[in-house]
Every structure is written in C-alpha cells, then in structure tokens.
Structure 1
Amino acid sequence: MSSELRALGWGDDFEQAFEAYVAPLSSEERARLTPVRVVGVQRQTFGVRGLHGEEEARLAGASRHAGTLTPAIGDWCVLDRAADGAGRILAVLPRRTTFARALGASEDTRRSQALRQQVIAANVDLVLIVTAPDADFDLERLERYVQAVQQSGARPVLVLNKADLHADTGWWVRQLGTLGPGLEIHVTLAESGQGLEGLRALLTKGVTLALIGSSGVGKSTLTNALLGRAAAPTGEVRASDQQGRHTTTSRTLYLVPGGGLLIDNPGLRDIAVWDADAGDFGELEALAAQCRYRKCTHTTEPGCAVQAAVRAGEVSAARLAAFQGRRTRR
C-alpha cells in the first residue's frame, strides 16, 4: 500500500472497497481509475488529493443521476483521470465514519425530525469540540456536539480555548467533565501556543482530526497554530455580545507537518443530532439502576441516584435532559 495514500488516511478497508469496484472492469478501464481523498468542496467542483497530488474534479454525470452519494470533505472516491486530464468522480467509497447533523429539527427541542441529513465530514477519527470561557459557553449545546460526534463513530475531544479570558479555568473544566465519563479535555491559548502539545500528540500519520464549535471560539487560530502557517482566516469577536464572525466559510482538509490531517469547519451555532438514540449514556444507565424506585423518572423521586449525581456536580443537567429525552422517545 502506498505510503503517500497512508499519509492521507488510506487503510485496508478503503483498499478492499476500491479493489471490489474496479474488479469487474477491463484492464484499460482500471488503468484510468485511482483513489483520491476530498480535501475541498466548492459549489460545482471538488478538490481531491491522491498519488498525483492535488487536483480539481467534478462529479460524473452518470453518478449524479444514479443516486450516488455526494462527496463530502474527507471522503475517499474513485477518480477517472480522462485523457484530457479532467478528473471525474465516479463513486464514493464506503465511509468509515460519518459526522452529520439533522436539518429541520424544531427550535425548541433541537431534536431530529428525520427530515434531512447534512454530512459535515467523513472518515474523521477525532473531533475537537472547541469552546471558550465566555458568554457563549453553553453546556446543552456542547452536549449535543458530543452526542453527534459519538454517533458519527469518531472520538470527541473537548478543548477550552482562550484560557487567558479567566485567571482560573478550573470551574469551566469541571463543567466540561460532567458531559460524559472519560472525555479528554485540553485547555489552550492558541494565539500563544499554550496547551497545544497535547493536541499535536493526537495528530499522528494517517489520523484525521476535525474542529467544530461556535464562531469566535478560535478554531481557525487553532488550525493555523497546528499547521504552523496562516492557512485559515481569523477574525475578531464582537465586544457587544461576544459573538464571532464566520471567518471560515468552507471546509478544507489540510496535511499537518509531521503527520496527521486536519479539517477546519465553519462555525456551528448549534447542532441537532441526526440519530440521538445512538448516544452513549452508559454511566447514566448504571446510575439509574441504583435508584430507589425501578421506574424512577429522575425528576423529583426520593432516592434518585441520577439526581444525586447532578447535585454533586458529577453529571450535568444538560446530559440528564438528553438522557431523559431519549427515554421518552423510546
């Protein structure tokens, strides 16, 4: 297997899927096909990268009308390199992970109404959920981010950026710790490089890492710091409401010096989980088994172990609300 492709995140599963696709074709047809990864998405074209470097490609007309998946940033695709040099994407290889959100969710619940799925990124291994200790800090929204990442098959990592906004970030870190057991948390100041060593350690060869979070939390500054160059535009936060401007307007996959790949996403003001039922609430299920009453609703019953954990600061109210919402929909 090519080391160039491995550096882009290629693996045995993609290799097998590609070989299965080309197996029925003639040797002449196979010679024109090559696997590429989507590194940029424009309105009509896609930036792709493979053994021939980075190039531009379009979705083949036959694929467009045959119900083929629309490529997303991070996808591995089958590219037909025609004699004229124009690349045509024929197929999207099966995804290892799919980070998506539900569109059309009601504003009051932020729950999926199963209307439409928007794929944000594909084949991502780790997702950095970036927030800051300011007025935009919202545990309920962060809980939805965590659920969406877990549902995708990727691993969520929490990042409290802009650590200089408060002399003591301990309270904010403890709040993040209530969002789930075993969640990795990093405190950073991207502008100065503080705390970035732990994030750089996550970026090993072939590992794809994506950043998500509200506008203004410093995702683009983190991207530039990890890349060691000014690749993503950055902007100021409005003093009036602490809201950031959307400096990143498209998704781009970067190769990180020293290994790994990084996707910078536009700011997500909120997210509705495409399949909230798949959220992992194992620690809450275990607590619920310790409640005094077998059919405890975890609201006002005496002897509720879940409510006790909330009062002790071990579980956030936002996580409990998500857990109760899942149980209600069953």
Structure 2
Amino acid sequence: MTLPDLNLAQIGWTPEFEQAAREVRLAAPGLTLLPGRVAGVGRNTATLWTQGGAQESVFAGTLRQAELSPVVGDWVMAEPLLDAPMRVHAVLPRRTQLARAVQSGMQVLSANVDLVLIMTAPDGDIDEARLSRYLEAVHAGGARAALLLNKVDLTRKPEAVLAQLRALDPAVPVLPLRAKEGEGVAEVRALIGHGETAALIGSSGMGKSTLTNALLGREAAQTGEVGATREGRHTTTARTLYRLPGGGVLVDNPGLRDIEVWRDDAAAGFEDIEALAADCRFRKCTHGTEPGCAVVRAVSRGQLPPERVEAYRAAQGWTSGAQRARRRK
C-alpha cells in the first residue's frame, strides 16, 4: 500500500501527540523513534502509517508486557531498522477509545476516534435497546456519535423511523442514507472534520463497506451481494484503516451483533482521583508517565498519597509488573 504525500496531521496527529512523543524520546535517548499510526494489527506485528509511507513493524519485548497493547487507530513510537521491520517501543496515550466489555475484561476495538457512525436499517435491524448501548459505549469512550439509517427506501414511513432514532438521543445527528445509490454520502462526509477519525459500527449486512467505498470514491472494501431478503452479507473480517480524500481517516469494523458497555466499576471509592483526572491532558490518562497528568502533579505537590494512586491504578488493571513485584515483597 502506498501513501503518497502523507501528512501526519491529515491522519490525526495533534500537538498533544507531539508532546507525548517528545516525552517518549526523552525517556529513550539512545533510540531514534518515529511516530506511526496503527492501520492493522497482528499477534505481535502491526502495519503503521508513517511520514515515509506504510511500514511493517514488530513489537519490542518490553511493549508486549506493557499496560497498553496497540490497536487500530493508536499512535505509536517505532524505531526504524536497516533491512528489517520497524520496532514499536511505545503506545502514545489515547485521546478516546471505542471499547466493549468481554468475559476477560475490556476489549478496545479502536483508538483515537473522533466520530462513531452507527449504521442501522429499517429491515428488522431497528433495536432501540441495542442502539442505545452503542451510543452509551461511544460516549463512554469520549467520541461523538451519529446514527445512519441506511436502505431508507425499505420503509414506507421513513420519517417515523428517523423520529424513532432521534428520540434515542436528541443531541446525536440522524441521517437518512442510501449508500449504494450514493444518496446521503456527502452529508455523512461533512460530519468528519479535516484530520479527524471516524469509525463505522453496526450489525452485519447494513452496508458499512458500501458506505466506506462511497466515502473513499473507490472500491477498497469488499461488499457482499444482496440476497432475496435485500440484506447484504457480512464481508469485513478485520478492522481496517482507510485514508479519506481531503484529509481524515475511516475505520471499517466487522459487524457487531451487540455491544456490552464497559463500565468502570473499579473507579468506585476513588472519587477524589476521578475529579483530579478531569484536568489531565489526555482523556484516557493512566496517571503513570503521560505528560500533563493532573494526578501525578497532585502527588508531586503532596496533595495525594502515591500509595492511593497505585491502589487506584491496580484496581483499573494498570499496575505494572514492577509495581506488583514490589507489593509481593
């Protein structure tokens, strides 16, 4: 894949990420580290978008034991190597994340997303409870949301269905769409600001890949044939990052039957730290090494015991292996 004339700002790089990158470089003075955005993830590998184009990378051993595992949309710091894949050493703090609860805890689907486009259709997919969970998950991760009613021609009462969707959250835009015919695509594109990242989620067969191709202006995502039920078949099998014409990024996600909202019950009893965290530079700050952390600043000023912060981090599952070892001694 080639990425000609790639400008990092066009794919989501901000001054906050620049500051975080500076901190990582200061902590590793012997390494030459360059920023890259994760466009695809393997077991211990990732495809990165860098200033020099698309690059393959492997994870450094220390990263495999770190608190954050890279996901699509993450910004990382990687070391270029001669005749070898780049080596990823650090994941930069996330501004936002789209996550869900799974049996093992929290699964982050994509990171640093500004807008989540929730796609549904009037052909039996309208489930208010499920759509409300989508919206709750988006807001919990810090992103904006929009509801897209695709295949709007399949209902005889489109305005009634649109009103039903608007009632879920009056602050969320609701757009009618016929992605295959190109109707409403320009209105969707207008929601995605320059350099912003949008993610598409929804059930299988709703037309996410068709909309992806329409937004890109090319056949990049595979689409399924429409069967007798007029429903498309699920074709996206992995999260894929696409560069939008004119700036911006789109994440096409595999179909989600439902989503269980990740609720941060571990924050109970740490309301003082949660209040301080509202002033951290990064929304998803782990109060460890991130620059601009209000919690770390409070500890340095003697306003908060470091042991309490460590207990909070342990409750969140953020405690490092070194800290766990110290507690066992």
How many Å separate the matches in 1 of 2:192 and 2:170?
23
1:214 matched to 2:200? The reply is no
Given that 1:203 and 1:259 are in contact with CA atoms closer than 8 Å, whether structure 2 keeps it comes out as: no
Alignment of 1:1-330 (within 5 A): 4-26=7-29, 29-30=30-31, 32-64=32-64, 66-104=65-103, 115-237=104-226, 239=228, 244-275=232-263
Larger mean Cα displacement after TM superposition, 155-164 or 35-44:
35-44
Q: CA 1:238–1:272 in 2, change beyond 3 Å: closer, same or farther? A: farther
Partner secondary structure for residue 88 of structure 2: strand
Please report the RMSD computed on the Cα atoms of aligned residues, expressed in angstroms.
1.9
Partner secondary structure for residue 174 of structure 1: helix
How many Å separate the matches in 1 of 2:115 and 2:255?
17
TM-score by length of 1: 0.75
Given that 1:136 and 1:243 are in contact with CA atoms closer than 8 Å, whether structure 2 keeps it comes out as: no
Per-residue deviation, 1:205? 2.0
Per-residue deviation, 1:237? 4.9
Flag structure 1 segments of 5+ consecutive residues without an equivalent. Answer: 105-114, 278-330
Give 2:116's aligned amino acid. V
How many Å separate the matches in 1 of 2:238 and 2:67?
22
How many Å separate the matches in 2 of 1:243 and 1:46?
33
Per-residue deviation, 1:231? 0.8
Given that 2:114 and 2:197 are in contact with CA atoms closer than 8 Å, whether structure 1 keeps it comes out as: yes
Give 1:179's aligned amino acid. L
Counting matched residue pairs gives 261
How many Å separate the matches in 2 of 1:41 and 1:245?
24
Given that 1:97 and 1:123 are in contact with CA atoms closer than 8 Å, whether structure 2 keeps it comes out as: yes
The runs of at least 4 consecutive aligned structure 1 residues that moved more than 3 Å come to 236-240, 242-245
TM-score by length of 2: 0.75
Per-residue deviation, 1:245? 3.3
Per-residue deviation, 1:68? 3.7
Given that 2:175 and 2:184 are in contact with CA atoms closer than 8 Å, whether structure 1 keeps it comes out as: yes
How many Å separate the matches in 2 of 1:270 and 1:221?
21
Per-residue deviation, 1:182? 1.4
Give 2:250's aligned amino acid. L
Give 2:173's aligned amino acid. E
Given that 1:100 and 1:274 are in contact with CA atoms closer than 8 Å, whether structure 2 keeps it comes out as: yes
Equivalent residue for 2:273? Answer: none
How many Å separate the matches in 2 of 1:172 and 1:266?
25
Flag structure 2 segments of 5+ consecutive residues without an equivalent. Answer: 266-329
Give 2:146's aligned amino acid. V
